[in-house]
Structure 1
Amino acid sequence: MDKVATVRNAGRRIVRAAQYLRMSKEHQTYSIDNQKDAIRNYADIMGYDIVATYEDAGRSGLNLGGRPGLQQMLADVESGRAEFETVVVYDVSRWGRFQNIDESAAYEYRCQMAGVRIEFCAEQFANDGSVGSDVLKAIKRSMAAEHSRMLSQKTFIGQARLIRLGFRQGGKPGLGLRRQIMDHSGRPKLILSEHEQKSVHTDRTILVPGPPEEVATVRWIFRQFVKTHMRELEMARLLNKRGVLTDLGRPWKRETVRGVLTNEKYVGTNVWNKRSRKLKAKAVNNPPEQWVRAEGAFEPIVDRKLFERAQVIHKTLYSHMSVTNEEMLAALKKVLARRGALSTSIIDAAPDCPAASLYHHRFGSLLKSYELIGYQPPRNWQFVTSKKRLASVRTQAIEDLLAAIGRAGGKAAYDRESDVFRINDEFTVAIEIARCCASDYGYPFWSLDTQRQSLADIFTLIRMSPGDLVIRDYLIAPMSEIIGKSELRAHNGAQLDTYLFPTLTPLTRLAERASAENILWA
């Protein structure tokens, strides 16, 4: 006879209960299996029948975000769908390590108001609402929160120590640099590729010079900037015209040029903690006095005197970067009074006004900046601005592709009437761009119209990321595979997703020319 039947025969009412399980990456004591065992034993003693399980494996307990198990449980309880009257949790820390203990209490209170009790099977108090129980529970909540704060502080101290020793702590190496593993005795091991991570806990990572062509590009950027005082946007356009890509294989933008010109890693200095996000709080920019630095940590690829001259010039050209929010809005008002209207191009063209991208960074969006100075843009402003930006991205992608095909020995001609490209007089390519839209349920999708381009052999769609500021990927597929389709989703099945690529390189390879001699000897 099973245990539930034994309890029933003893005349006790069977209580339908759910179990909530959570584990981050802390300690084996809190493994999901251990929690299940403890809850099962507790349920046997109490006469509970576990009818539902909510689980957050590998999830932080600092907040509700990122915990679908707890969110689903709260939704079921408050909607009346829950077929249980009690939720059993291993202990208070598994419920959460909320930094505000009132938040922890709030979620428990929401369950209680819906008629569902929360019980902690491993705690030495009964969660019965008595004064003693509430006091002990409040202490436990504070201890759970303090544990996370202490762990965060210890982690920070350890990471800062490694930075001062010259080791890298996360992040992409950047153009012209690569990550190299060092073993526990300081001997160099292999160079990591883009998506590789170290596998031995005691190994450390340093930065070393990357491919010669990338190093040459970085040095050229600094020399060109110091020599010509060229603006970042002009530098980005020049790099794109030359067919040079960033370390991520993308076209250059104003921000990526600035990221190279102002980064001290190129002179061998290890800098960390410029920006931090502790305990799942909002990320903040830290003042320079909180940065952790180590000079001479890496082999430099840019001369220090050249780097310092570049910083002086950059500071002079972009002195407005340090202006206050009030000064930025005042400058925007002056431009509005002078021009009578505002747009990204108008702002960027004004020499006495910060760049439009800085307003987006400071205030969250350009539209918010307009609201703060009382400017009401035309009703179709956002659509027109987005359309112009997408057209510019498409034009830039086409120019980059044509340049890459030329370097590969191929040739491409544009037929303005049909809006398609003929490559090597062999096949045609249609290139379109699609903004990222969201469905009623929040899932992204991209609309496409293949009717106008039905004469092309290959259809290429540039898919933008949410916000339509960054390219997500490229669909490069035979027209026969997508004709008649009206939209793409994030996941479209293996047959169609096979044609998704991070760059337009597949088209370049199709256009490559090889000499007859190489073909004969291949």
Structure 2
Amino acid sequence: MSWPDDDHQQDSRKRAAQYVRMSTEHQRYSTENQADAIGLYAEQRGYQIVKTYSDAGKSGLRIKGRDGLTQLLDDIQAGKTDFKTVFVYDISRWGRFQDADESAYYEYICKRAGISVEYCAEQFENDGSPVSTIVKGVKRAMAGEYSRELSQKVFAGQSRLIEMGYRQGGPPGFGLRRMLIDGAGNQKGILVRGEHKSIQTDRVTLVPGPADEIAVVNKIFRSFVNDMQSEAMIAADLNAKGITTDLDRDWTPSVVRQLLTNEKYIGNNIWNRSSFKLKKRHVHNSPDSWVRSEGAFEAIVDAGLFVAAKVIFAAKAQRYSDEEMLDGLRDALETYGFLSGIVINEASALPSSGAYQSRFGSLLRAYKLVGFTPDRDYRYIEINKRLRKIHARIIHETVGGIEQVGGLVQHDKKTGFLTINHEFSASVVIARCTQTGAGAYRWNIRLDTGLLPDITVVVRMDQANETPLDYYLLPTAEMTLPKLRLSESNGLSLDAYRFDDLTQLFAMCERTPILEVA
């Protein structure tokens, strides 16, 4: 059989892949524009682009969450490639890693497998020469420095908005609502949960919520200040009356404490209590680093009442020496026979469990100092009740999300097993957050080896075990052990399956009509 000359010429070209990435920094770095530039570069050098790896809307500060680059490296390491070259627009698209050696390492993975990386918009050839090595090192450092400078500019801009009285993310809180404001300062309407502004010049501020919620907030403050009720007593009373939080959950002592200590209820805008700059670890900042704007919102609690609550908390924290706190803990151990976060929070004569964690580093260390070694952590009793409710809610939301995209799902309510589109199965597992004696956070996962679902949806909880932190979609075929232990960073082998939400799962379940495919 003879082939047309054009087809023969196309088949004879060298095969290459391209990697494109777009964050939110500038339109000229759109993935389409990058692909156009790479295509021209490849054509001039006799290459054929046979595969595209893409990360749209992803930061280049770290590899976590960059599924395109992760997949590229996995394919290369597994030998699943039919190309010998990877084209990237420039070094900054490969990544703005704060450690330039990380960028070099990922390129080395390609080189070690016999895959070369070429940067199409750079003014040097990536040929391994001393000049190219030096220039790449400088460019990688410049890419990381750009992100550091941009982070500082963004922080300054956000601080300015806080000082002007605008809200920077997060739920409003019980008794408050988010109000959308246009560039001229006119109110546009209340944002309900899940809604966000769509115009860059719009801003968000806080306004008083429904009168019944405001009354509850003030009742909480009066119960704490005037009636000397503990946070645990207040939470129990609210739950007994069927009043839920703004997130439709039961009240806990920690949630009550957060309400009683948050200055937004007296109209103050506080920001930068914690930070996550340059995608590094979350850190809690000292009060002198906080950005404040007093009187930014309309207060719904009297300032005098708030100050009185603040004085009570300060007195609780300061009136006990280390030995007095431990003596109180010994008395509680003798009274109850065991210790737990619940026991501590419900004991009116003791500071909160959070105070013990802050003073001694962790509750387990405080337990050890008074001679108590728990057979089990009795905080799990309260946490288990909450996690059972969260598990049921996640199942409900998952089934609803699958059905919303047109998928068919059968839910076995006895086992929680999901059968989707008669094609594959899934199981939902809640991963509780625990803290080691050294202060590190861990998530232990037991995979379902009985039902053997095709995919295990792991919901990793936050440090307080109150809200989902992220999600892992683990394929059973790739899991070799029945138990997994996750840390905050787990490497490519596991974090490649990590997602911020369940959008990826819903996309897998979406069904497309045959006519649309055709």
Q: Normalized against structure 1, the TM-score is what? A: 0.69
Give CA deviations for 1:202-252 in whole Å, capped at 9, x if unaligned.
Answer: 222221111101111111111111102211111111111122111111111
CA contact (8 A) 1:4 1:44 kept: no
CA distance in 2, matches of 1:205, 1:392: 31
Stretch of structure 1 that moved more, 69-78 or 349-358: 349-358
SS of residue paired to 2:249: coil
TM-superposed CA distance for 1:367, in Å, is 6.1
How do 1:484-495 residues align onto structure 2 when only pairs under 5 Å count? Answer: none
SS at match of 2:54: strand
Residue 353 of structure 1, CA deviation: 6.2
Q: CA deviation at 1:78?
A: 1.3
Query: 2:80 maps to which residue?
Result: 81
* C-alpha distance in 2 between matches for 1:118 and 1:393: 46
Alignment of 1:54-133 (within 5 A): 54-133=53-132
Shift of 1:288: 0.9
> How much does 1:256 deviate?
1.1
C-alpha deviations, 1:47-104, integer Å up to 9, x for none?
Answer: 2222222111111110010001111111111122222211111100100010111111
Contact 1:152 1:278 in 2 (8 A): yes
* Larger relative contact order (CA 8 Å, sep ≥ 6): 2
CA drift at 1:439: 3.2
Q: After the TM superposition, which of the residue ranges 304-313 and 329-338 deviates more from structure 2?
A: 329-338
The answer for the alignment partner of 1:231 in structure 2 is 230
**Residue 152 in structure 1 maps to residue 165 in structure 2:** no
Alignment RMSD (CA, Å) = 4.1
Aligned to 2:260: 261
| 2:384 aligned residue | 390
CA distance in 2, matches of 1:360, 1:72: 41
What does 1:282-301 correspond to in 2, within 5 Å?
282-301=281-300
Q: In 2 relative to 1, CA 344–226 (structure 1 residues): closer, same or farther, beyond 3 Å?
A: closer
Report SS of the residue matched to 2:195: coil
**Is the contact made by 1:176 and 1:211 (CA closer than 8 Å) also made in structure 2?**
yes
Rate the CA distance shift 1:46–1:349 in 2: closer, same or farther, 3 A.
same
Contact 1:7-1:47 at 8 Å conserved across structures: no
User: Does structure 1 retain, via aligned residues, the 8 Å contact 2:174–2:246?
Assistant: yes
Please list, as runs of the form range in 1=range in 2, the aligned pairs for 1:321-336 lying within 5 A after superposition.
none
Amino acid at match of 1:262: T
Is the partner of 1:138 in helix, strand or coil?
helix
Q: Structure 1's 374 and 114: CA in aligned 2 closer, same or farther, altered over 3 A? A: farther
Residue in 2 aligned with 1:172? Answer: 171
Give the structure 2 partner of residue 274 of structure 1. 273
Classify 1:318/1:356 alpha carbon distance in 2 versus 1 (closer, same or farther; 3 Å). same
Give the structure-2-normalised TM-score.
0.70
Amino acid at match of 1:390: N
Q: 1:303-452 counterparts in 2 under 5 A? A: 303-319=302-318, 342-345=339-342, 347-348=344-345, 355-356=352-353, 377-378=374-375, 381=376, 386=380, 389-390=383-384, 439=447, 443-444=456-457
Whether 2:163 is the aligned partner of 1:184: answer: no
Counterpart of 1:477 in structure 2 is none
Q: 1:254 to 1:350 in 2, by over 3 A?
A: closer
Conserved 8 A contact 1:229-1:313: no
Cα 1:471–1:205 change in 2 (3 A) is: closer
Partner of residue 497, structure 1: none
The residue type equivalent to 2:55 in the other structure is D
CA distance in 2, matches of 1:151, 1:211: 40
Map of 1:483 onto structure 2: none
Counterparts of 2:68 and 2:363 in 1: how far apart (Å)?
Answer: 37
Q: Tell me the amino acid that sits aligned with residue 245 of structure 2.
A: T
Indicate the larger mover: 77-86 or 204-213. 77-86
Q: What is aligned with 1:139?
A: 138
Mapping 1:191-270, distance limit 5 Å? 191-270=190-269
Q: CA deviation at 1:443?
A: 2.5
Contact 1:219–1:302 (8 Å) recurs in 2: yes
Instruction: In structure 2, give the amino acid aligned to 1:164.
Output: E
Task: Answer whether contact 2:91 2:143 (CA < 8 A) is retained.
Answer: yes
Counterpart position of 2:401: none
SS of residue matched to 1:228: coil
Specify every segment of 5 or more residues in structure 1 that has no aligned partner in the other structure, as ranges. 396-433, 447-463, 473-489, 494-522
Task: Indicate if the aligned counterparts of 1:4 and 1:47 stay in contact, CA closer than 8 A.
Answer: no
AA partner of residue 74 (structure 1):
L
CA contact (8 A) 1:97 1:144 kept: yes
Instruction: Assess, with a 3 A threshold, how the Cα gap between structure 1 residues 115 and 471 changes in structure 2: closer, same or farther.
Output: closer
- CA shift, 1:444, in A, is 3.2
Query: In the aligned structure 2, how far is the partner of 1:80 from the partner of 1:58?
Result: 28
**Conserved 8 A contact 1:178-1:210:** yes
1:4 touches 1:49 (CA, 8 Å); kept in 2? no
User: What is the CA distance between 1:339 and its match in structure 2?
Assistant: 8.1
Distance 2:131 2:162 in 1: 47
- Post-superposition shift, 1:125? 0.4
Alignment match, 1:29: 28
Report if the CA contact (8 A) 1:62-1:96 is conserved. Answer: yes
Q: 1:29 to 1:359 in 2, by over 3 A?
A: farther
Could you tell me which runs of 5 or more consecutive residues in structure 2 were left unpaired when the two chains were aligned.
390-428, 432-444, 449-453, 469-501, 507-518
Does the CA contact (< 8 Å) of 1:17 and 1:51 recur in 2? yes
CA distance in 2, matches of 1:468, 1:312: 25
Structure 1 SS opposite 2:167: coil
